[in-house]
Amino acid sequence: MKKQTKKVLKTSAVALGTAAVALGGAFGIADLFVSIALDRRPPKILDAVDKHIGGSKKKDDALTKSVQEAALCLQAHENEIVRITAHDGTPLVGHFIPAPQPRRVIIAFHGWRSKWYKNFGLQSKFWYEDGCSVLYVEQRGQNESGGAYMGFGMTERYDCLDWINFIIGKCGAELPIYLAGVSMGAATVLMASGLALPKNVHGILADCGYTSPRAIFRHVAQKNLHIGYGVKGKIADEIYKHKLRMDPGACSAVQELRRATVPVLFIHGTADRFVPIEMTFENYLACASPKELLVVPGAGHTYCCAVDPERYRKTEEEFFAKWDGAHPTPH
């Protein structure tokens, strides 16, 4: 009996030890995953896994070249560097390019681990030609703006209000304002859609935005990195809470769009492996305000404008023409 008891205790100890190692491994993986997602200075392993995070499909060389050349042109364009202090004291930086005869102002939010000029090079040319003054924002936790972490839209959505107030002070309250974003920037402006936006915010342009931080974390972990996300996901939630002092499930684009009052133009490519197009479909269905949807066949992540620039431009210009002088619902 004693031998059997000892055997059971020994087996239990091994099982507990194995579970402890597994749990420790799960914590390490979750911590690394959240650090890659949120930290201003990511762990070195990001270089090795970066291509897999986005789905690892090789992009068309010609399209990539056109995107890169347009980005460099935008970077070289004369711009006014502007600085504000956000609602929580974080210093934020933007780049303002006024149109000669402005008809509206766009506040543009770039994506995850990107730069102010990288996601908008192609759009910037026709925005400028169509009379759009543009404020290209540097998102918090990235580049020249302050903050130790990115918030995947949950913290950045309040920065939208700070930048809107800045633009009203700079350009006046008469010009229509549009919020535009690509990828994480799109999620940012979609999460801002449910806030009390000033009355001269006339619309939102959201290119390949996801539904929520939690949903995109799960998708990338399971589909692109092939990491189980059960226990690791729960641990990741706790690490997220610790770093940002908020629950990653407390806000989502879907939730905020149910309260949206300004028109929204949703844009997504069918070949996006980073943010699946189904997320835009879910956002679109949730949106309570007037809405439009542009689907670009064959376009990968952030490449809708590169794949079909004429349709992209026409759709946005028609959206501006429709909503520049109208408010469909009270703010």
Question: Does this model's pTM top 0.85?
Answer: yes
44 within a domain of the structure (yes/no)? no
143 and 191 fall within a common domain: yes
pLDDT for 65 equals: 95
Q: What is the pLDDT of residues 23-34, one digit of tens each?
A: 468 888 888 889
227 and 258 fall within a common domain: no
Q: What is the pLDDT of residues 253-269, one digit of tens each?
A: 999 999 999 999 999 99
Between 122 and 25, residue with greater pLDDT? 122
Alpha-carbon distance of 144 to 82, in angstroms, equals 11
Q: What is the pLDDT of residues 228-286, one digit of tens each?
A: 888 888 999 999 999 999 888 889 999 999 999 999 999 999 999 999 999 999 999 99
Structurally, how many domains does the chain consist of?
2
Mean pLDDT of 290-312: 97
pLDDT band at 80 (very low <50, low <70, confident <90, very high): very high
103 and 221 fall within a common domain: no
28 and 137 fall within a common domain: no
- Confidence check: pLDDT of 157 > 60: yes
* Average predicted confidence (pLDDT) for the chain: 90
149 and 231 fall within a common domain: no
Alpha-carbon distance of 164 to 103, in angstroms, equals 16
Identity at 230, one-letter amino acid code: G
191 within a domain of the structure (yes/no)? yes
Rg value, the chain, Cα:
22
pLDDT for 159 equals: 98
Supply the range of the domain harboring residue 217. Answer: 1-38+213-246
47 within a domain of the structure (yes/no)? no
282 and 157 fall within a common domain: yes
Count CB atoms within 10 A of the CB of residue 125. Answer: 16
46 within a domain of the structure (yes/no)? no
Intra-chain end-to-end CA distance of the chain, in Å: 76
282 and 185 fall within a common domain: yes
Three-class SS of the chain: CHHHHHHHHHHHHHHHHHHHHHHHHHHHHHHHHHHHHHECCCCCCHHHHHHHHCCCCCCCHHHHHHHHHHHHHHHHCCCEEEEEECCCCCEEEEEEECCCCCCEEEEEECCCCCCCCCCCHHHHHHHHHCCEEEEEEECCCCCCCCCCECCCCCCHHHHHHHHHHHHHHHHCCCCCEEEEEECHHHHHHHHCCCCCCCCCEEEEEEECCCCCHHHHHHHHHHHHCCCCCCHHHHHHHHHHHHHHCCCCCCCCHHHHHCCCCCCEEEEEECCCCCCCHHHHHHHHHHCCCCEEEEEECCCCCCCHHHHCHHHHHHHHHHHHHHHCCCCCCCC
328 within a domain of the structure (yes/no)? no
Q: What is the pLDDT of residues 35-71, one digit of tens each?
A: 999 999 988 888 888 778 887 666 678 999 999 999 9
Count CB atoms within 10 A of the CB of residue 57. Answer: 12
CATH of the domain at 92: 3.40.50.1820
224 and 259 fall within a common domain: no
203 and 121 fall within a common domain: yes
pLDDT for 319 equals: 98
Alpha-carbon distance of 79 to 2, in angstroms, equals 81
pLDDT for 18 equals: 41
275 CB-near residues (< 8 Å, 6+ apart): 183, 208, 209, 210, 216, 219, 268, 301
29 and 60 fall within a common domain: no
**Are the C-beta atoms of 302 and 279 separated by less than 8 Å?**
no
